[in-house]
Structure 1
Amino acid sequence: MDQSTTVLFGLPGVRVDRVSTDDIGVRLVEFFTDDERAAACPGCGVVSTSVKGHAVTRPKDIPYGEVSILLQWTKTRWRCREEYCQRGSFTESVDELPPRARVTGRLGRAMGWAIGDAARSVSEVATSHGVSWPTAHRGFVDLAGRMLTEPDPVRVLGIDETRRGKPRWDRCTTTGTWVRTDPWDTGFVDISGSQGLLGQQSGRTSATVVGWLRARSAQFRDGIEYVAIDPAAVYASAVRTPDLLPNAVLVVDHFHLVAKANDAVTKVRQRVTWDQRSRRGRAIDPEWANRRRLLRGRERMSDRGFARMWNEIDAQDPSAQILSAYIAKEELRTLLSTVRDGGDRHRTSHRLQRFFTWCADSQVPELLTLAKMVDTWWPEINAFITTGITNAKTEGYNRLVKQVKRSACGFRNVDNSARRIRFHTTRSARASIQTSC
């Protein structure tokens, strides 16, 4: 095929004139414009026939094989003869090479996908393609602007927080005092669908959640049937805001409930050690040596390991508070496991009564606090037992959020952070759309 009539692959609107290779194998592709629309004035749209001159630009492009490829574009500068047009002259441009572009459109998209989907840092991508940081970042911003759209309505919404940076002290401009700033982000996840992270908002307050939901359409808010959270009062208060989510039922994730029960066991163990020995636990203390077994489920221990833990702690703790805390934790796990039985109401009621009775009879302060927490959140816990909805998907996306933050070595700009995170956490949804198409 004659090179003079070969269209440069991937760059419509231009035609290759000559290809040459230097001593180290770098290809120089010289091409010119082959699109009648390029002679149309951007101001008035009239096709010009008056040539003012020519210009040569060398935009960067994606590599070809193991060696780089250099482009040299010879384009025409036209005069606009229309009296009502304010533009005196203009230079040819095509879709893949807009005016004043220093990189091709496909290179910009390639850098955007590398930054967004692969979670590579902007500086790394810019260095690998031989461009500046702003150029690489501009390619990602343009790509994200086309790909990230307003989320569609969801049936189950997950809400959770992630830390954006380390706590720091800032001086208040009004009072002049030092105020501790603890940056957090609140994420909103599509649990029932495949949209991934729907958005992020700075802060972890009720106003943060309400503000993000108010910014969505009424159809979006009315379509939410369940909202899964951890036992956070600020999030629950936001979801219960009148007329915000009229059809939503609040669900508390069971993972955080078991974590709080484990915290209660740990606090009891530490307090009993201090009361008996007036010091922290050591390896010679049975409650410290079995600290991990105390946090393990009974079904995950062998009979021999369970008997060893029980006998060693029982012999050294006459008050039996540590083992009482362990039993309370297991009773709560048994209560939450009713979800596997289809949320049987009678079985749930029996196990709940057994848990409350054990905590009340033990008179252990930490267990009374745990029982009070379960009583406060019981409608939301019962919603989990009935529906089986968890916040596990949200926690999984939190891992991806941290991965993006680590690869970027932190973010100074909140908007850039939210854009990068949402693009990376929605790549599965885009892949499923492409596969179905």
Structure 2
Amino acid sequence: MLLSKQDDHNRRATDVANDTTRLLGLDGLAVVGVAGDTDGPVVHLVTADERARHCPDCGTRARRSKGRRVTHRGKGNREWELRNRLTRSAARMRGEHVDALLDELSNLPRVIGAPITVAWNAKEDLLDLLATARTRPDREQVRDLLYRFYRRCADADLSELQRLATTVETWWPEILAFLHTGITNAGSKGTNRVIKTIARDAYGFRNPGNQRLRTRCATTRRARGHLDAR
């Protein structure tokens, strides 16, 4: 029996869906997109589980592994509802709020709460290290804080924290210069991001003059008083 093009497409999509169900038991699985291909639709998945690096049938190695952990967004998932407090610095929170946050994490299932707690503590260790900038920290203070951060990442056995520690190690000379001098290129990076965002939102400009005008309007608002809270 001959199949039409649409029937063949539906059959291939069904086959892909059936093969994908073998991965539904993996940790932190999320479907990030479906792309067309000459052999049919290709489902792009993201998961932190190492078993997803190989195809269940042919064992083909994945071209890249993002290692991203995901959770269901919405009410009823406490770890998602706590996301705003998890990104805040504990130094800017009241003591009772920090205690309440840690209690909330301890009440979650261990497979969910334990990694989040470890990652949160590592984030706080790194913030404590960066907080010594412009305070003229001595060598021993920086060494102790850096060792505490590295030790936390090593003991956690989380791939995300291991990559974070590797990034800090790679950029450590620049980070140390920031701690001692307080000089950073964060301002220029922020301005560059605004310029790129303006260009993306406009989907290209008709001429360079329009681009310069829109860029100057977006990057000089504070100087022109448009961001004055008073």
Amino acid at match of 1:416: G
Cα drift, residue 365 of structure 1: 1.3
Taking the aligned partners of 2:181 and 2:117, their CA distance within structure 1 comes to 32
Residues 199 and 205, structure 2, Cα contact 8 Å, conserved in 1: yes
Taking the aligned partners of 2:102 and 2:127, their CA distance within structure 1 comes to 19
Match of 2:101 in 1: 309
Taking the aligned partners of 1:345 and 1:291, their CA distance within structure 2 comes to 34
Match of 1:334 in 2: 128
Q: Secondary structure at the match of 1:339?
A: coil
Question: Structure 1: which 5+ runs fail to align?
Answer: 1-266, 274-279, 430-437
Q: Secondary structure at the match of 2:206?
A: coil
Q: Secondary structure at the match of 2:183?
A: coil
Match of 1:357 among 137, 151, 154: 151
Task: Give CA deviations for 1:267-308 in whole Å, capped at 9, x if unaligned.
Answer: 55x3xx5xxxxxx25422221121111111102222232222
Task: Give CA deviations for 1:14-48 in whole Å, capped at 9, x if unaligned.
Answer: xxxxxxxxxxxxxxxxxxxxxxxxxxxxxxxxxxx
Residues 134 and 181, structure 2, Cα contact 8 Å, conserved in 1: no
Amino acid at match of 2:145: R
Match of 1:371 among 157, 160, 165: 165
Task: Give CA deviations for 1:196-247 in whole Å, capped at 9, x if unaligned.
Answer: xxxxxxxxxxxxxxxxxxxxxxxxxxxxxxxxxxxxxxxxxxxxxxxxxxxx
Residues 328 and 358, structure 1, Cα contact 8 Å, conserved in 2: yes
Task: Give CA deviations for 1:110-131 in whole Å, capped at 9, x if unaligned.
Answer: xxxxxxxxxxxxxxxxxxxxxx
Match of 1:412 in 2: 206
Taking the aligned partners of 2:210 and 2:191, their CA distance within structure 1 comes to 15
**How does 1:132-211 map onto structure 2 within 5 Å?**
none
Cα drift, residue 369 of structure 1: 1.0
Taking the aligned partners of 1:282 and 1:390, their CA distance within structure 2 comes to 37
- The alignment status of 1:299 with 2:91, answered yes or no, reads yes
**How does 1:98-113 map onto structure 2 within 5 Å?**
none
Cα drift, residue 402 of structure 1: 6.7
**How does 1:29-428 map onto structure 2 within 5 Å?**
267=68, 270=70, 273=71, 280-319=72-111, 320-395=114-189, 397-398=191-192, 401=195, 410-413=204-207, 415-416=208-209, 419-420=212-213
Cα drift, residue 408 of structure 1: 7.7
Residues 404 and 420, structure 1, Cα contact 8 Å, conserved in 2: no
Q: Secondary structure at the match of 1:338?
A: coil
Residues 404 and 421, structure 1, Cα contact 8 Å, conserved in 2: yes
Question: Structure 2: which 5+ runs fail to align?
Answer: 1-67, 224-230
Corresponding residue pairs, total? 153
> Of Structure 1 and Structure 2, which has the larger fraction of its residues in helix?
2
Cα drift, residue 363 of structure 1: 0.6
Q: Secondary structure at the match of 2:133?
A: helix
Amino acid at match of 1:372: T
Which has the larger Rg?
Answer: 1
CA 343–404 in structure 1, closer or farther in 2 if over 3 Å, else same: same
Consecutive aligned runs of 4 or more in structure 1 exceeding 6 Å deviation: 406-409, 426-429
Taking the aligned partners of 1:290 and 1:394, their CA distance within structure 2 comes to 32
